[in-house]
Chain A
Amino acid sequence: MNEHSPITPMQAAFIRGAISRRTLMAGAAGLGVTALAACGSKGKSPSASSSGSVTPTAKAAQDMSDTEKIVNWSNWQQYIDVSDDEKSRPTIDAFTKATGIKVNYTEDYNDNDEFYAKVRPLLAGGEDTGRDVWCSTDWMVARLIRQGYVQPLDKANIPNAKNLEAAFQDVSFDPGRKYSLPWQAGFACIGYNTKATGGKKVTTITQLLTDPALKGKVTLLSEMRDTVGLVLLDQGKDPSNFTEADFKAAIAMIQKAKDAGQIQKFTGNDYTDGLSAGDIAACVAWSGDVASLSLDAPELELTLPEAGYTLWSDNFVIPAMAKHKKNAEQLINYYYDPKVMAEVEAWVNYIAPVAGTKDAVAAIDKDLAANQLIFPSTETLSKAKKFRDLTSKEESEFTRLFTNLATG
């Protein structure tokens, strides 16, 4: 990979996409990801586990890693570095070259619920899902662990796990990181296409849900925690510490916008096509998606709302009955090398969970290391909130309310 080529346009995109509306101050050079600790522990979170039941253990298949040099990795769209001609993925190629392990990289993770529905019957039946590793969002990891669908990671195969940023070390959904290691973290924010908005900026969720100029050209994420999280923040509530009434008030606000014909639909990661084409004028989006898309499309911009935004992480997990567990662990180990992670970040624009990434990036380009989306300052992070853990009961009740809204 030509290490410099993606970075210069990156800067441009970054300036268009984020700096322009964010105050990038002295804090930029500051604490970086370590500051996540501050926001991760904010708010009181009830335990995610269901009524005291014992966590079932995931079944392991016979590991074929030594005879079959393959690893099957399912991931989200726009979530890894690609070469300039978009034909290869440099860090994956380098991994294959170094280890001889072929990576079957599939972008079939469009939405947590959708993906869960796809693999659940196989996991419940004790069968191989055909995947060795995938990246699930924190709350989904909690569910997968609770139901015994993911295997503990063998840290002996992942010596680089020591590079895990302290902020990601002890998380409520996986204390001690026994089952999961973060791949990327990021913000849910507002993305918009200035061509479709007629040059208008979209700066708040209230504007997104009420501005007549956007009528019928707004999409929201079917990922409940991101969409509802942003609305809660807009209403002055804290997603890391809210009540059922707050949740219902947020739902009511979305319902009102929907009844007024403001919302076109609810989408998974596939919103990126419509936003690029201009069929979607503005939407709830994931920060890195919009930032990396704007490389080729300067009309795409993103707003981190002043009222605050949600912070999430997607995590590597190895499902039960995975055939190439050791290979998957080697893959995770490879990406926990800060130099490798730096290459990924230059492309995906998300927050790196690997300590030392910032130094590795700074060695290539100092400006990139100041990117608020990759290495957020304490100020940027102070407005980022995590959606609190939900009890099983809350999870099914809230999902029901939200999905009924989306399809009602």
Chain B
Amino acid sequence: MAEGAAVVGTGAPVRKPVRRGRWVPYALLAPGLLWLVVFFVVPMITLGSQSLQEGNIDDGYVFTGNVSIYADAVQRYWPHLVRSIGYAATATVLALVLGYPLAYFMAQKAGRWKNILLILVIAPFFTSFLIRTLAWRNILSDDGPVVAFAQSTGFTSLLQAVGLTSNDTLLASKFAVICGLTYNFLPFMILPLYASLERLDPRLVEAAGDLYASPREAFRRVTWPLSLPGVVAGTLLTFIPAAGDFINSRLLGNTETVMIGQVIDSQFLRVLDYPLAAALSFILLTMIVVLVAFYVRKAGTEELV
């Protein structure tokens, strides 16, 4: 990258100016690096040291290097961690299933409607995250038309049978939390998918057809592999924030759907147990990093990162 930047500025064969221009890329990187240091590295160090403190809110917290807190935290909040990962993964898969056809349609078939559809996908972002989630509370309200419809079609009984709800309503259940997560993060799935599907050359699919591939085979061997960078980016952008989310479970869930984000929130703000909250944040971070590293390796898209 260093050479590249210098070459653009000076013209290829001249040697001396290349040396002089070496600081340019670093200067260009500096604001970004500074940002990372100030808003990521420093808080991470603070958080790390906080997790190893002991004390209480009145007398203050002191660093004692109490590592056992991590074991305690994992032992106590294991179900919450597993549940959070589970909900986030389910929401990610749902968002992919819902988002892929839409992104494909927008990128390949929508023609002049393309921009309008794009705006519609982004439009919900004009209102706050909280308001959008609260709206779901109205949509799924016990006396609302959605519940009435779901009850009359037997959908609520089905959900109850598979354990996604605990009674014949929809609100305050696993189902509602997963719906909320899927809805709130769906645009993060659609936009990267759209970006990679838009670059897909339709002639490649045509060529596959010419070589006697069925539409299904053409999708499996041409469209899907070429859209993989979008799939990986979309799933990461959906999964990572969903795993740490605490709003959906708080507003749409019940006492059995508490996600780890909600535990961290209440330990930080209510119990004022900063070390435990910091330790839980680190555990969540580590779990996500490990899962994501494993996933990216499996998905095999080096060009993505």
Contacts and interface: CB of A to CB of B under 8 A. Distances in A.
A274 B251 CA distance: 11
B143 A392 contact: no
B257 to A, nearest CB: 9
A113 B270 contact: yes
Contacts of A258: 255
Nearest to A396: B56
Interface in A34-53: 50, 53
B141 A265 contact: no
A165 interface: no
Contacts of B138: 277
B137 interface: yes
B269 A117 contact: yes
Interface residues of B, number: 29
B254 A264 contact: yes
Contacts of B166: 216, 261
Interface stretch (B90-98, B102-110, B260-268): B260-268
Contacts of A53: 58
**Chain A interface category by residue count:** 20 to 34
A216 B56 contact: no
Interface string A390-408: 0010001001100110111
B141 A279 contact: yes
Contacts of A266: 255
Contact of A396 (B57, B137, B263, B269): B57
A140 to B, nearest CB: 13
B253 interface: yes
Interface string A367-408: 000000000000000000000000010001001100110111
Given A264-B255, A279-B137, A406-B255, 9 more contacts: A53-B58, A216-B167, A273-B137, A274-B137, A278-B141, A279-B141, A392-B58, A400-B271, A403-B271
Interface of A: 50, 53, 113-114, 117, 146-147, 195-196, 215-216, 222, 258, 261, 263-266, 273-274, 277-279, 392, 396, 399-400, 403-404, 406-408
Interface of B: 56-59, 137-138, 141-143, 166-167, 171-172, 250, 253-256, 258, 262-263, 266-273
5 contacts: A261-B166, A277-B143, A407-B258, A407-B262, A407-B263
